[in-house]
Amino acid sequence: MQPVQHQMMGYDRTSTMFSPDGRLLQVEYAKKTVKQGTTAIGMVCNGTVILVADKRLGEELIVPKSVEKVFQVDQHIGATASGILSDGRILVDKARLIAQQHQVTYDTQMDTEMLVKDICDMKQAFTQYGGARPFGVSILFGGIDDDAPVLFLTDPTGIFFQYKATAIGENENDVKEILNKEYKDNLTMEEGIKLCVKALKSALGKDFELKRLDVAYVSASDKEFRRLDINDIKKAIK
């Protein structure tokens, strides 16, 4: 007799039920959703953290400026997401609120790592309690902690890792292959943007266009989140 598939047994109907081999199938499905999302890259350079995302404009008549894939969370923190972007927007709004409450309470900016832990606690809670599905989104948070640029990746399980450079989304494996070969610790911001654009161009092939990119950075010198327009991107990659 053939073994019964997990789905037939109903182990994927709730995130609170473990399958016989110890898996939470709803959480695994959420991670697969991220793999279908647009590609986003985070990179720590010399004194700067960069976030680059593919907008993947679905229609010719969409105004590119209206599509936002890199978000400002606080004065010194930015984020980009891949997966279900509506889930990402809710979590980014929550992160903004947490950062603002910390500023009002302690009169100081919140560390990026502390903020990431709070968001991951929320993500983990949605894998543990019934009545709600896991967040189908991974988020890259880039910011300045102790005058140094930092980059964190959060996934649907509520786990987070700190990276020097990484990618999420549909082309993450192709992009990571290039980052692993060419990333260096002492890259300037311009060199970092060039590498991110090169990696995305290689992954997207003939579909690549500069207008598809959403690019922002936070510098350790002034701890200010700044977004680049298409002319700034062209200057950076010359």
Residue 101, domain CATH? 3.60.20.10
16 annotated active-site: no
* The pLDDT of residue 2: 52
Is residue 216 in a domain? yes
Catalytic residue among 38, 39, 154, 157: 38
Contacts of 130 (CB under 8 A, 6+ apart): 14, 15, 16
* The pLDDT of residue 1: 45
Give yes or no for a contact between 213 and 53, defined as CB atoms under 8 angstroms apart: yes
Is residue 56 in a domain? no
Domain that holds residue 148: 72-231
pTM for this entry: 0.92
Other residues' Cβ atoms within 10 Å of the Cβ of residue 16: 13
Is residue 163 in a domain? yes
Mean pLDDT by runs of 10 across the 238 residues of the chain is: 55 76 86 94 97 87 84 97 95 98 97 98 90 92 97 96 97 96 95 96 89 94 94 88
Give yes or no for a contact between 122 and 6, defined as CB atoms under 8 angstroms apart: no
Q: How many domains is the chain built from?
A: 1
Is residue 116 in a domain? yes
Is residue 23 in a domain? no
> Token pair of 88, please?
């990402």
Is residue 14 in a domain? no
Is residue 24 in a domain? no
Is residue 40 in a domain? no
Burial class (CB in 10 A: 0-12, 13-18, 19+), 39: buried
* The pLDDT of residue 4: 52
* The pLDDT of residue 78: 98
